[in-house]
Amino acid sequence: MWVAAAARAAMQCLVGEPVVLNQQLFQPGGDPVQTVPVRSVSLLESGVQALAISVCDPGPGLDLTRGLEVWVRVAWAPTDDPWLNVIPGAGVGRFAEGGGICLSTFARELLEQNLRPFVPKGRGLVVEVVLPRGRELAQRTSNAAFGVVEGLALIGTQAEVQISASPDQLQSSLDRLRALVVEPDFAGRLTLVIGENGFHLAQQLGFGSSGPVLKTGNWIGPMLVAAAEAGVEELVLLGYQGKLVKLAGGIFHTHHHLADGRLEVLVALAVDLAFPLDLLQSLGQAASVEAALEDLQAREPRQAEALRQAMAAAVEARVRAYLQRYGDWALQVGAVLFDRSRQRRWPGPVGQVLLADWGRSL
């Protein structure tokens, strides 16, 4: 929304219309108009290009984009094919494969809806988005695990900010789950992922052909119980190893502001595998789970593989124990973990069985 607001203000400046600092944005599908503030606007070259800046305000809750400046440059393009070309500037996430901007369908439609009225027929427009702190902040996300590099992805799916740790996010996921299980073609199979990146990856890997794919946010525990209560019979929990390792330690709400202990869980798993003291110390002193496993992979590939397999198995065991606290269900839950490269994936014992039954190969 802040990208669209800055782009629209820059367009007003470019075409010589009065610039409005409180931009009223039209949403795709005729949803209610949203008002988003813009901090400043300026021509860069009269009649050629303009720049506007907005500042993210995600509302209540903890979010790393709070206060993030969004710079958007608009310029006339030499061609109208396509009429709108959105390019990633510094700090904006792009796909490692191909280098294209990581931009969701909603984000593109939002830009099209609000910029099309300013672009005459036969003319094209270039929109360049710059996030000055994007590369820095992306290091605190799992973007790279989903093939997104260089900065923050622009993957909004709606106008309102959804805080993945908030009760509203849980309720939204629960409502979606209840709607899915009553669909006529629902066959008892479900894939759970955390967030929009996980959802896209699951679709790319073909999980959508085996059954619905549902985003949980960070409320994994309650969503697992709700899935069991709703009659789900087979569930694959697909997630980044640096996130799902929390479940191996019995942490079922995975937002980093609420609970962590990831490296401690990793070391505990390594102790169970009888790793030598020097490797245990190296794991415990690493900057992150990803760094710990990458270093171990370089030093001891076989032990790195064993540790990842133990992590996946521990996730499944903890999930079974968690579900048993609340009821006696026949739900089978298999864990499938992946790393930042997305080239190596590790299913737990149940996950291996489910993947074979679903016709999925990793």
57: helix, coil or strand? Answer: coil
Task: Write out the residue range of the structural domain in which residue 110 sits.
Answer: 2-149
| Sign of the C-alpha dihedral computed for residues 269, 274, 275 and 277 taken in this order | positive
Helix or strand run (H / E) with residue 96: none
- 């800046």: which residue's tokens? 53
Q: Are 215 and 193 in contact (CB under 8 A)?
A: yes
pLDDT digits (tens, 9 = 90+) for 299-343: 999 999 999 999 999 999 999 999 998 888 989 999 998 877 665
More confidently predicted of 27 and 77: 77
More confidently predicted of 222 and 260: 222
Q: How many domains does the structure of the chain reveal?
A: 2
Can you read off the two tokens belonging to residue 43?
């021509």
Other Cβ atoms closer than 10 A to 147: 20
Q: Are 195 and 238 in contact (CB under 8 A)?
A: no
At 80, which CATH number?
A: 3.30.2110.10
Average pLDDT value over all residues in the chain: 87
171 and 145 in a common domain? no
The answer to whether residue 160 sits within a structural domain is no
237 and 124 in a common domain? no
Can you read off the two tokens belonging to residue 145?
């695990």
Helix locations, 182-300, DSSP H: 195-204, 220-229, 241-248, 262-272, 277-284, 289-299
What global pTM score does this model have? 0.63
340 and 305 in a common domain? yes
280 and 235 in a common domain? yes
pLDDT at 76 > cutoff 90:
yes
340 and 286 in a common domain? yes
pLDDT band at residue 5 under the 50/70/90 scheme: very high
pLDDT digits (tens, 9 = 90+) for 21-44: 999 998 877 666 788 999 999 999
181 and 131 in a common domain? no
The CA-to-CA distance between both ends of the chain, in Å, stands at 36
Using DSSP bridges, classify how beta strands 213-215 and 189-193 pair: parallel, antiparallel or unpaired.
parallel
For 330, residues 6+ apart whose C-beta sits below 8 A from its C-beta are: 233
Query: How far is residue 351's CA from residue 30's CA, in Å, rounded to a whole number?
Result: 42
Other Cβ atoms closer than 10 A to 61: 16
Work out the burial of residue 233: count CB atoms within 10 Å of its CB; fewer than 13 is exposed, 13-18 middle, 19 or more buried.
middle
**Dihedral angle over CA of 86, 89, 94, 99, nearest 10:** 80
More confidently predicted of 105 and 128: 128
Residue 99's region, left for phi above 0, alpha for psi from -120 to 50, else beta, is: left
Where is average pLDDT lowest: 68-77, 118-127, 216-225, 277-286? 216-225
193 and 119 in a common domain? no
Domain stop point among 93, 114, 149: 149
pLDDT at 66 > cutoff 90:
no
125 and 87 in a common domain? yes
The answer to whether residue 94 sits within a structural domain is yes
- 């959804």: which residue's tokens? 162
DSSP string, 322-344: HHHTT-----EEEEEEE-TTSS-
